[in-house]
Structure 1
Amino acid sequence: MTGRNAKARKIEALLGLAAAAHPVRLLEVGTGSGGIAHHFGTHPGRRFEVDAVDVNDSRQIHDGYRFTQVSDIQLPFPDGQFDVVISNHVIEHVGDRAAQRGHLAELRRVLKPDGLGYLAVPNRWQPVEPHYGLAFLSWLPVAWRTPYLRWRRRGDDYDCRPLSVRELEPLLAEAGFDFVQQHGRALRTTFELERPGA
């Protein structure tokens, strides 16, 4: 879980959550192993009230947060419930462009008007696709991706739809988000947290 802990600490740093003085309502969408939700739910320095959702229950850590299994992009929470919403490498898995729009709209709906969101997504134009480790996989037209995956014997179905920056930014604006790209800062923070002795 060391990697998940470093990721959670990076999210905390990028969002400036160390300065949060009051209990923070936090939602992690697509919690996976549960490491990020656990980090915030058991934070030693401040109080986070954490909910986590996922379509599959593949958690390895269960304590420190409430978990709800969902069946699709709809979130089972009232409008404006959370101070912080985290979607870490989820949007590329939710489906087609309409589902991606719906995912962002749901994040915005449950976030307080002055809340903070964290959205991480692999760039479609990365030379090596991060889920399957194949060069140029996500560069291909959608219809060619699964055949390439099968030809390279890495899987049966390419179920990811990574976005380019030019594709993502209009979707964020359409959902009503004000946003700042933090690629450089995220890389620096990752290096600082993961370097030996950190």
Structure 2
Amino acid sequence: MQNEVRQPHAVLDLPSRSWKAEKIARLLGLSTRKQPIRLLEIGTGSGGIAHWFAHHPQLRCEVVAVDVCDNRQLHEGYAFQQVEGVDLPFEEASFDVVISNHVIEHVGDAQAQARHLSEIRRVMKPDGVGYLAVPNRWMLTEPHYRLKFLSWRPRGWRTPYLKLMGKGDFYDCEPLEMRQLERMLAASGLAGCNLCVEGLRATFDIERPGRISARLLAMIPDVLLRLLNPINPTLIYRIWCSDEKCGCQVD
């Protein structure tokens, strides 16, 4: 149906894309990886993250970006291909780093999401690493429509609730639960390390340095913060091929 077209939901705020790229580089420990780094960003949106990596003064990255729509605001320094669906137009083991930042919730149903992860596994080099972030189903406020408890509701109730609240005609996202995502990773041949706590600390360090909130967060032990992982608004994972070893140390 016409009103059930999935929207791109691209984030076009360029400063936030630079902060996000810096966080990704830190969480993946890219400063310690052998260079040059061949990097793929799936769902590039504004192009801000791809542009940041392509122009990084220390990291030597050969950056390729793909998206189903071209909403780029920054075009220079990286290659771009427009794609259809979740299949990637690249050979096996083509990339050292693969980034899927808030993409998997937009690709479609569970079968399409599984295909998305399998394609990441296929194009990632055996010793490669990936960044995967997705909104948690149990987030308080759904980030795309700014509606509380939207994703908490059974799947069949979400679109009617969206319409009732005057926020849209079709709920076109599919956020995941933590254990559900981990099962999907394993089924696709990927291993994952949950970096919700590290991601939270990196966000405050990069975006809110020196603020009281950052200092208060620094006082909370990791072990306590990890108890909140199942309800963290964003699920963040470092991923790699499951038959390879990858530690969870962060820069």
Normalising by structure 2, what TM-score? Answer: 0.77
SS at match of 1:78: coil
SS at match of 2:202: helix
**What is the Cα deviation at residue 104 of structure 1?**
0.1
Give the structure 1 partner of residue 173 of structure 2: 160
Task: Kindly indicate whether the alpha-carbon contact (under 8 Å) linking 1:21 and 1:46 is maintained by their aligned counterparts in 2.
Answer: no
- Residue 28 (1) aligns with residue 35 (2): no
Give the structure 2 partner of residue 99 of structure 1: 112
Unaligned 5+ runs, structure 1: none
Equivalent positions of 1:178-193 (< 5 A) are 178-193=191-206
Once residues 113 and 16 of structure 1 are traced to their aligned partners in structure 2, the CA distance between those partners, rounded to angstroms, is 17
Give the structure 2 partner of residue 79 of structure 1: 92
- Residue 65 (1) aligns with residue 83 (2): no
Match for residue 15 of structure 1 among 22, 25, 28: 28
Unaligned 5+ runs, structure 2: 1-13, 212-251
Normalising by structure 1, what TM-score? Answer: 0.98
**Count of paired positions:** 198
Once residues 162 and 21 of structure 1 are traced to their aligned partners in structure 2, the CA distance between those partners, rounded to angstroms, is 34
Give the structure 2 partner of residue 115 of structure 1: 128
SS at match of 2:151: helix
Once residues 101 and 46 of structure 2 are traced to their aligned partners in structure 1, the CA distance between those partners, rounded to angstroms, is 12
Give the structure 1 partner of residue 161 of structure 2: 148
**What is the Cα deviation at residue 197 of structure 1?**
7.0
- Residue 175 (1) aligns with residue 188 (2): yes
Once residues 35 and 98 of structure 2 are traced to their aligned partners in structure 1, the CA distance between those partners, rounded to angstroms, is 16
Once residues 148 and 19 of structure 1 are traced to their aligned partners in structure 2, the CA distance between those partners, rounded to angstroms, is 47
- Work out which structure has the larger RCO, using CA pairs closer than 8 Å and 6 or more positions apart in sequence: 2
**What is the Cα deviation at residue 184 of structure 1?**
0.5
Once residues 191 and 37 of structure 2 are traced to their aligned partners in structure 1, the CA distance between those partners, rounded to angstroms, is 20
- Residue 47 (1) aligns with residue 63 (2): no
RMSD over aligned CA atoms reads 1.1
Aligned residue identity for 1:157: F
**What is the Cα deviation at residue 64 of structure 1?**
1.3
SS at match of 2:96: strand
Match for residue 6 of structure 1 among 5, 19, 27: 19
Matched residues, percent identical?
60
Deviations 1:73-126 (A, max 9, x none): 000000000000000000000000000000000000000011001000010001
* Stretches (4+) displaced over 4 A: none
Once residues 88 and 58 of structure 2 are traced to their aligned partners in structure 1, the CA distance between those partners, rounded to angstroms, is 28
Aligned residue identity for 1:34: G
Once residues 116 and 34 of structure 2 are traced to their aligned partners in structure 1, the CA distance between those partners, rounded to angstroms, is 29
SS at match of 1:180: strand
Once residues 57 and 160 of structure 2 are traced to their aligned partners in structure 1, the CA distance between those partners, rounded to angstroms, is 48
Once residues 208 and 196 of structure 2 are traced to their aligned partners in structure 1, the CA distance between those partners, rounded to angstroms, is 18
Aligned residue identity for 1:94: V
